[in-house]
Chain A
């Protein structure tokens, strides 16, 4: 896969209102953020802090009520394959085999079948799923389904990889191995990643920078640079510097913890 050097993001003074009539509320308030091309950014925060809403903006499923969102200085106009979105679970097409799920984006681009199968098999091997091409999603474990999900998005060589708690539904063990797998794949493609999570360990292990958000209304309260060298191994999570950063995150998050809005983050609700 070729190196992708574009994928810089600018978010300027964005406000997002969600819901209808009396239930309308401010999901994001005066959010500004820029992400460099090739950077791995984690959005960390409690549920209801608008982190998924922010991802929905970047994906093009939502529009800001105020402010501007650009990728490589171009305004976002609806969803597009160069901004790939990975959900938490169950968004593979259940009626397509693993291979047909992964090749879907290329089929939409009009690539010939032989060519798209070749690319997909290569990518499936990279995420450790060789031999499962003809399986249906329902035959795979949760972790394997997420690997297919990631392969399905990466095959489009996105400038921007948007991940909405992609490992949130997995058990702890699978979660750790998926985090390592993601870093390994990312080290080869180096696309920009915006990764939403409420798991501090996950955010610190994966990201170059952690953006901490708080709820009601959703806004950015802190940004932490994560200095650890790459490739990272799981044992950095017990490193004193890691623990110190984790403590810092906890301190920022703590006042917001008691506040939980109802499921306000469903980014497709308004899309």
Chain B
């Protein structure tokens, strides 16, 4: 192909990409708009289908107003910072323990035999089911909420770490040992980076479950926090606050997962190179 023909082909290709992109954007935006309109309509006519009743549900405009009110309120900072602090401690503890245990279990047979059975017994129990026990175990309700988020994040991180270690090419380990790599150095130099992509996936999933569990925990034993705000809005019949709370939870949940993935990619420059081409 001559260079001019190539240029034409590239330009044509780019145009097509733009066209497709704009069509995509229109469809995606349109879908979201339709949902909002459906919501507006349902709440405006007080839709009542018998099994589904939207009479008490706030419409989009009411939610917007309540959102503005919350933004102006001094309580917002307290709610957000309380939730974020709990997420931070729960997630940090789950990350450290989940990755450390996962590396050991994935690599050492004795660790698998000793550590995995008790963990497997506990794993099917949903984190939310721990709430009553957590309240009894920890005198401080703060600690019990952190514990619930910790339990929620631990298993996705642990399982993905084990999976990542299992997926490491054994020839890499053989090569490392041939080059004089032994013991703990092998973990640092080979096992950890080899399992890193899977660990980051686990961390991102764990961050999601963290929020899920935190909100449940706050609804029951919190005094501040976004989950608590959501539940409080229900009990004091400020119904539009419920939806505001839900949206804030969704926003922070998404942002924190994006942050985890971004940090993960910063730690794995070799994957960026592969994706970016030569």
* Residues of chain A within 8 A of B180, CB atoms compared: 80-81, 105, 108-109, 156
User: Would B278 and A268 count as touching, CB distance under 8 A?
Assistant: no
- CB of B194 within 8 Å of the partner chain: yes
Partner of A91, one of B172, B196, B269, B278: B172
Partner of A87, one of B175, B177, B179, B193: B175
- CB of A84 within 8 Å of the partner chain: yes
User: Would A79 and B273 count as touching, CB distance under 8 A?
Assistant: no
User: Would B171 and A90 count as touching, CB distance under 8 A?
Assistant: yes
Within 8 A of B (CB), among A127-175: 136, 138-139, 152-153, 156
Interface residues of A toward B: which range? 20 to 34
- CB of A94 within 8 Å of the partner chain: yes
- CB of B104 within 8 Å of the partner chain: no
Compute how far the CA of A90 lies from the CA of B194 in the bound complex, rounded to whole angstroms.
13
- CB of B274 within 8 Å of the partner chain: yes
Contact A108-B273, Cβ < 8 Å, known A87-B171, A93-B193: no
- CB of A10 within 8 Å of the partner chain: no
* Residues of chain B within 8 A of A94, CB atoms compared: 270
User: Would B171 and A268 count as touching, CB distance under 8 A?
Assistant: yes
Compute how far the CA of A45 lies from the CA of B181 in the bound complex, rounded to whole angstroms.
32
* Residues of chain B within 8 A of A227, CB atoms compared: none
Enumerate 9 A-B pairs (CB-CB under 8 Å) in ascending A order.
Answer: A59-B174, A59-B178, A79-B174, A79-B178, A80-B178, A104-B181, A108-B179, A108-B180, A108-B181
Chain B 184-202: CB-based contact to A (< 8 A → 1; otherwise 0): 0100011001101000000
- CB of A246 within 8 Å of the partner chain: no
User: Would B179 and A136 count as touching, CB distance under 8 A?
Assistant: no
Within 8 A of A (CB), among B157-214: 169-172, 174-182, 185, 189-190, 193-194, 196
- CB of B268 within 8 Å of the partner chain: yes
User: Would B273 and A138 count as touching, CB distance under 8 A?
Assistant: yes
Contact A268-B170, Cβ < 8 Å, known A80-B180, A156-B180: yes
* Residues of chain B within 8 A of A87, CB atoms compared: 171, 175
Chain B residue, CB-CB nearest to A269 = B170
Compute how far the CA of A81 lies from the CA of B274 in the bound complex, rounded to whole angstroms.
30
Chain A residue, CB-CB nearest to B177 = A79
Within 8 A of A (CB), among B223-278: 268-270, 273-274, 278
User: Would A95 and B175 count as touching, CB distance under 8 A?
Assistant: no
User: Would B179 and A152 count as touching, CB distance under 8 A?
Assistant: yes
Chain B residue, CB-CB nearest to A87 = B171
- CB of A68 within 8 Å of the partner chain: no
Compute how far the CA of A91 lies from the CA of B179 in the bound complex, rounded to whole angstroms.
12
User: Would A85 and B268 count as touching, CB distance under 8 A?
Assistant: no
* Residues of chain B within 8 A of A109, CB atoms compared: 180
User: Would B179 and A95 count as touching, CB distance under 8 A?
Assistant: no
Partner of A85, one of B169, B174, B194, B274: B174
User: Would A104 and B179 count as touching, CB distance under 8 A?
Assistant: yes
User: Would B196 and A95 count as touching, CB distance under 8 A?
Assistant: yes
Contact A104-B174, Cβ < 8 Å, known A81-B179, A139-B278: no
Compute how far the CA of A78 lies from the CA of B178 in the bound complex, rounded to whole angstroms.
9
What 10 A-B pairs have minimum CB-CB distances, sorted nearest first? A108-B180, A81-B180, A95-B193, A105-B179, A79-B178, A79-B177, A85-B178, A91-B175, A136-B270, A138-B274
